Amino acid sequence: MFPLARAAQSLVGRGIQHTAVRGAHRKHEPTFHDKYGTTALLGGAAVFSAVWGYVLTQLNIEWGFSPIGRTTPREWRE
């Protein structure tokens, strides 16, 4: 192995070891996602469902796009 590559590899390895040791000694403080992640997800799902439930049931949306049964043929002119 080239000396420069070997030095870079040991430097990277030492940095990773240092980061792992530093993280192992620190107390884990809960973040926002640890505290409220599931609640926020369920709340968002409830709001999403409520809004789309209202839109799909209360607005007069024509769901059948086929003109069959809604149009009547005109009399044929000769």
Q: What is the pLDDT of residues 25-74, one digit of tens each?
A: 667 788 888 888 999 999 999 999 999 998 888 877 666 666 666 666 67
69 lies in some domain: no
pLDDT on residue 66: 66
| Count of the separate structural domains present in the chain | 1
Residue 3 scores a pLDDT above 60 = yes
Tokens encoding 13: 């390895």
Whole-angstrom Cα distance, residue 71 to residue 2?
Answer: 82
54 lies in some domain: yes
65 lies in some domain: no
16 lies in some domain: yes
Whole-angstrom Cα distance, residue 39 to residue 32?
Answer: 11
Burial 3-29 (b: 16+ CB within 10 A, else e): eeeeeeeeeeeeeeeeeeeeeeeeeee
CATH of the domain at 7: 4.10.51
70 lies in some domain: no
- What pTM does this model have? 0.43
Domain ranges, residue 19: 2-59
9 lies in some domain: yes
Unique residue bearing structure tokens 């607005």: 59
64 lies in some domain: no
